[in-house]
Chains A and B, each alone.
Chain A
Amino acid sequence: MGLVEPRRSQAILVAWAVLIFALSALTGLPALAAASAAALLLFRHGALRELRRVAVTVVPLSLGLSLASWTWLWLLGQPPPVAPFVALTVRAGLIAFTTFSVLRRVDLLRALAPFPAASRMLVLCLAQIHALRLLVTESALGLRSRLPRKPRTRDVVRSSGAVTVALLTLSARNARDIGDAMRSRGFR
C-alpha cells in the first residue's frame, strides 16, 4: 500500500490506536499467539523487515527487563512462573510490530496536514533530532581523529562542553530557520 489520502491515514491511525489498546489487554499466551498470527497475516507484506526492527529495538529491552526481573525474584526466593514474563515480552513485541507495520502504511505528516501547528512542531523536532545526531556523530569522529588512541570516557566528558555549546547554537539556528520557512508557507 502506498501513500494514502489524509482522511484514510487518519482513519487507519484511529483504528491502530484502538487495536493496540485492545492488544495491550491480552494476558494469556494462547490469545497472544493467536493475535500474533493474525497480525503477521494482516501485515504480511514487509513483515520480515518489521520483525527485524522489533528484534533490534524492542525485544532486547523487554527481554532484558523480563530476564533481570525473573532472576531477581528467583534470587530472592522461589523461582517465579515463566509464563507472565514470556507474555510480557510477546505483548510488547506484538504491539511494536503492529505499530511499525501500520506506520509504514500511513503518511504521518499527510495525516497531520489539517493541523498545521502540530505539523510544524513535528517537523521541527524531527529536523532537530536529525541535525543533532549528525553533529554528535561528527563530533565523535572529530575527537577520534585528534587523538592517537581510541577516546576514553574522560576525553568524551572533557570535549562534551564545547560540543554542547556548538550543538545548542547550531540547533537553535536550525530550528529558527525551519520554523521561519514553515511559517512563510502557511504553517502557524
Chain B
Amino acid sequence: MHVPDGFLAPTITLPAWCAAAPLWYWAVRRNFGTSSTESLPVVGSLTALAFVVQSIMIPIPGGTSAHLTGVAILAILYNPGVAFVCESLVLLLQALFFGAGGFTVLGVNALAMGLLGPGAAWLCYRALRRLSERGAAFLGAYAGMQVATLAVSLVLGLQHRLSPAYMPVPFSVTATAMMVPSLTVLGIVEGLYTVMTLSLLRKVKLVGPR
C-alpha cells in the first residue's frame, strides 16, 4: 500500500515529514539505546522479513499497490515505537535501493504503515490477549492492516481534493480499490502471517515469554 514518489505534492509530504521526524527521534532514543543489544538481532531479522514480505506488490487502481506489511508482529512483540522505526527503515531501503515507495513520501508511508497500523494492532492485541493470545494477534494484525490502508487511501483522497490535476483518482475509487482487497484477503493473510511468526518465535525461543 505504499504511496509511490510523485503521487503526493509537497503540500502533504512536507507536513508529514515534519510530523514524522520528531517521532522518529523519540522512538529511536526510547527503543534503540544501549539496552537494545539483546533485542536487536530479532528486530533486525523481523525488519528484513517485513522487507521481503513487502517486496511482493500487486498494483491496484487508485494510486497504490496491495501487499502485506509484516510489522504488526513487531508492535505486538515490542511496542508501536519499534514497529515505527523498523517500518521506516524498510521504507527507506525500498525507496533508496529498489524504487518502491519513495523519499518524499517516506513521512506519509511511515506514519500510515509504521505508526497508525501497528499502533492499532498493538491496542487490539493488548485489549484481547487475555482471552486468547493467538486470536488477539490475528485480530490485531487484521485491524492494523485496515487502519493503515484506510489512512493511505484518505491521504490519496485528500491529494485529489487539493489538486485533481496532480492526483487524478478520486477518493471513492481509491478507497474501494484499496479497502476491498484489504478487508477480504490481505488482512486475513497478514493475521495468519503474524500468528504463524509469533508461534515460530516462541517455538525457537528467539523471544522470551511475556
> Which residues in window 152-188 of A have CB below 8 A to B?
161, 164-165, 167-169, 171-176, 179, 183, 188
A171/B48 in contact, CB under 8 A: yes
Residues in B with CB closer than 8 Å to A165 are 200, 203-204
**Max chain A CB contacts within 10 Å: which of B165, B168, B197?**
B168
Interface set, chain A 88-113, CB cutoff 8 A to B: 88, 91-96, 99-100, 103, 108
Name the residue among B52, B93, B99, B104 with the largest chain A CB count within 10 angstroms: B99
Name the CB-closest residue of B to A133: B52
Q: Is A124 an interface residue (CB 8 A)?
A: yes
A93: chain B residues at CB < 8 Å are: 6
**Distance in angstroms between the alpha carbons of A136 and B49 in the assembled complex:** 11
A125 touches B89 (CB 8 A): yes
The CA-CA distance from A185 to B52 in the complex, in Å, is: 29
Binds B, one of A3-11, A20-28, A38-46, A142-150: A20-28
- Distance (Å) between the CB of B47 and the closest chain A CB? 6
Q: Which of B36-44, B118-126, B145-153 contacts A (4 or more CB under 8 A)?
A: B36-44
Contact present for A58 and B41 (CB under 8 Å): no
Q: Does B185 reach chain A (CB closer than 8 Å)?
A: no
The docked-state distance in angstroms from the alpha carbon of A87 to that of B64 is: 16
For B65, the chain A residues whose CB sits under 8 A away are: 61, 65
Query: Cβ of B48 and Cβ of A125 under 8 Å apart?
Result: yes
**Complex partner residue of A84 from B40, B166, B206, CB under 8 angstroms:** B166
Residue from B41, B89, B93, B177 with most neighbouring chain A CB atoms (10 Å): B41
Q: How far is the CA of A73 from the CA of B164 in the complex (A)?
A: 13
A69 touches B206 (CB 8 A): no
- Name A81's closest neighbour in chain B (CB-CB): B168
Known: A61-B65, A81-B168, A117-B32. A125 touches B60 (CB 8 A): no
Cβ-based interface call for A80 (8 A): yes
B155: Cβ under 8 A from any A Cβ: no
Given contacts A65-B61, A71-B61, A80-B168, contact A54 B99 (CB under 8 A): yes
Which residues of chain A have C-beta atoms less than 8 A from B97's C-beta?
103
Q: 1/0 per position for B142-179, CB-CB distance to A under 8 A?
A: 00000000000000000000011111110001000100
A92–B4 touching, CB < 8 Å: yes
In the docked arrangement, what's the CA distance between A128 and B41, Å? 10
Question: Contact: B196 with A161, CB < 8 Å?
Answer: yes
Hey, which chain B residues are within 8 Å of A174, CB to CB? 41
Q: How far is the CB of B149 from chain A (nearest CB, A)?
A: 15
Q: Is A37 an interface residue (CB 8 A)?
A: no
Question: With A and B bound together, what is the CA distance between A53 and B96 in angstroms?
Answer: 12
Residues on the A chain within 8 Å of B166, using CB: 27, 84
Kindly name the residue among B6, B102, B166, B173 whose own CB sees the greatest number of chain A CB atoms within 10 A.
B6
Residue B201 interfacial (CB < 8 Å): yes
Binary flags per residue of B84-97, CB closer than 8 Å to A gives 1, else 0: 00000110010111
Residue in A65, A96, A183 whose CB lies within 8 Å of B99: A96
Tell me the complex Cα distance, A81–B167, Å: 12
B45 at the interface (CB under 8 A from A): yes
Interface string of B10-23 (1 = CB under 8 A from A): 10011000000000
A17 at the interface (CB under 8 A from B): yes
When A and B form their complex, which 3 residue pairs have the shortest distance between CB atoms, in order from nearest?
A: A128-B48, A57-B99, A91-B6
Given A27-B163, A171-B44, 14 further pairs, Cβ under 8 A: A60-B59, A85-B168, A91-B6, A92-B102, A95-B6, A96-B5, A96-B102, A103-B97, A132-B49, A132-B52, A161-B196, A167-B49, A169-B206, A172-B45
